[in-house]
Amino acid sequence: MKKVILVLAFSAFGCLGLRAQEFQGMAVYESKTSTADFKSNFAGNREMTPEMQKSMEERMKSMFEKTFILNFDKSASVYKEEEKLDAPGQGGGMRMMVSMTGGGGTLYKNVKEKLYAVDKEFMGKEFLVKDSLVNYQWKMEGETRVIGGYNCFKATAVRPASKTDFRNFRPKKEDPAAAKPADGEKKTNFMDNLEMPKDLTITAWYTPEIPVNQGPENYWGLPGLILEVNDGKTVILCSKIVLNPKEKTVIKAPVKGKVISQKEYDETVVKKMQEMREMNQGRGGAQMRMGR
């Protein structure tokens, strides 16, 4: 009798483990970044015509408003931008900027092994960035709210701002003692009025009703799926969730590209962007071409 009970017990545990492995979910996220800071700087560019400004704003809207799909199981996830046709005029320069605004490539996160991998294209070269997941020091707050029918809890954390993420730029703080330039001396490169902050304060909302340590982009580490993230400028909000979909998605890490660490990739991008900036000095608004 005892042997029968043990066999049944092991069978039950085996079934539970199998179900845990088979569990899968899909979440759709809408990402939107405020472009008010960039638009206000267009006015200070004396070489940008109203037509150029309108064109730039339309392109920036397509860059800063995106839809992503997160497929996840108990230990891993794949996060990728929803595929759509490129708008006319979006050449190599535009694709480069897309990769610097949270889009492009496939992001794989394994919370069990605490690592991630993402394939990126930059300046015509393919990279495979592999590194350890950021260890967020989440602070559990007391606030709650409902998102999409799920009860969510608030958590906050501070993380270093990525120098290769265009969305992280903020307006420069004005120095009251500094002399203001005359109208004829306005800077022609609107990026001169922006700077990269050292840290960003992150506000996340997660639901324990979906007990996985996953979330959009590189966010993870909370006792439930993260449904919303806000860094003060970019908001990523979950708009749809499907648990145990009929069609399973293969969740695996990308393998294409030159293997490189996050630090090495960031240094490569920053160096190349600085070279481009120096090459284009004196060309005014042309320094931020986003077309071909």
Answer whether residue 179 is part of any domain: yes
Answer whether residue 84 is part of any domain: yes
Answer whether residue 282 is part of any domain: yes
**Which residue did the predictor score with more confidence, 132 or 273?**
132
Answer whether residue 4 is part of any domain: no
> Per-residue pLDDT for 38 more than 70?
no
Rounded to two decimals, what is the model's pTM? 0.76
The per-residue pLDDT for range 188-223, each reduced to its tens digit, is 455 566 777 788 999 999 999 999 999 999 999 999
Domain region containing 39 = 23-288
Contact criterion met (CB below 8 Å) for 133 and 109:
yes
Contact criterion met (CB below 8 Å) for 233 and 33:
yes
- Looking at residue 183, its pLDDT comes to 52
Answer whether residue 2 is part of any domain: no
Answer whether residue 9 is part of any domain: no
CA angle 222, 225, 231 (to 5 degrees): 70
Answer whether residue 14 is part of any domain: no
Rounded CA gap, 219 and 201, in Å?
13
* b/e code 43-80 from CB counts within 10 Å (16+ = b): ebbeebeeeeeeebeebbebbbebebbbbbbbbbbbbb
Average pLDDT over residues 230-234: 90
Residue whose entry in the numeric block shows the structure tokens 């490189």:
260
* Total domain count, the chain: 1
Q: 3-state class of 107 per DSSP? A: strand
Answer whether residue 12 is part of any domain: no
